[in-house]
Amino acid sequence: MRALVAAAATLLAVAGSASGADPFLRHTATVDVVRKVGPAVVNVTTEQIVSGGSPFRPFSDPFFDRFFQDFFEPRAPQTVKSLGSGVLIDADRHVLTNEHVISRASRIRITLADGREFDAKLVGADPNNDLAVLRVETKEALPWIPPATSSDIMVGEPVIAIGNPFGLSNTVTTGVISAADRSIRTEDRVYHGFLQTDASINPGNSGGPLLNLRGEVIGINSA
């Protein structure tokens, strides 16, 4: 029994000495980037007013609409909410995000990592590159990180994605640049100059930053 207790004490002593050095091993470049950039990553919540229309959609046609209009009230307009991400890019409280995140939004709301919430207005959008710039409606100083050039991207380079997938604030995933200058076709357009990464990007990540190990914003994620 004494031998067992002595062995356990020895193991605890070894574990204790190992854990003392462990923070130095765990404090990687990724940790530094997350601490530096995380406060500038925001949750983008949008509201869109969707007209109600006929109660028989998607089966309605003009004949049925006219026939039943005296018997049924049309559906009332509804407010639909959606979630995305963004990143503050300057001291003037501008946020860079995806155009599809804020498309047709009647109201845009920004939530910081520290829980502060503000309204935001659309400054400009570029649908062909799926980018949009917002301005946060506040006089308060907000954390921000400047965007960098992606002209020297290296395939295989480690990258970090920060965003709000499924509304889970400041989720961090890592990977590498799998390819550069990709073209992606959707239903209504073709996007060019995309970076491909194997870092996990899920719904809600759209609009969040893709970062290199220097903590520079080299891209905007799109899910």
Domain residue ranges in the chain = 30-39+145-220, 41-54+77-136
The whole-number mean pLDDT for each consecutive block of 10 residues of the chain, a chain of 223 residues, reads 46 49 81 96 91 53 55 70 94 96 94 96 94 97 89 92 93 96 82 91 94 94 90
Pairing of strands 190-197, 158-163: unpaired
Q: Whole-angstrom Cα distance, residue 127 to residue 133? A: 11
Joined tokens for residue 184? 């992606």
Strand partners, 131: 126
pLDDT of residue 62: 53
Choosing from 85, 100, 169, 222, the catalytic residue is: 100
pLDDT value for 25: 81
Q: Fold match between 30-39+145-220 and 41-54+77-136?
A: yes
pLDDT for position 36: 95
Strand partners, 46: 82, 108
Is 130 an active-site residue?
yes
Correct CATH for 41-54+77-136 of 2.40.10.10, 3.30.70.100, 2.60.120.10, 3.30.360.10: 2.40.10.10
Q: What is the pTM of this model?
A: 0.77
One-letter identity of residue 177: I
Q: Which of 130, 150, 181, 188 is catalytic?
A: 130
Which one is catalytic: 85, 94, 169, 206?
206
Measured CA to CA, the distance from residue 219 to residue 114 in angstroms comes to 23
User: Chain-centre distance of CA 206, in angstroms?
Assistant: 4
- Give the pLDDT of residue 214: 93
Please give the pLDDT value at position 7.
46
Residue 100 catalytic? yes
The CATH number of domain 30-39+145-220 is 1.20.1730.10:
no
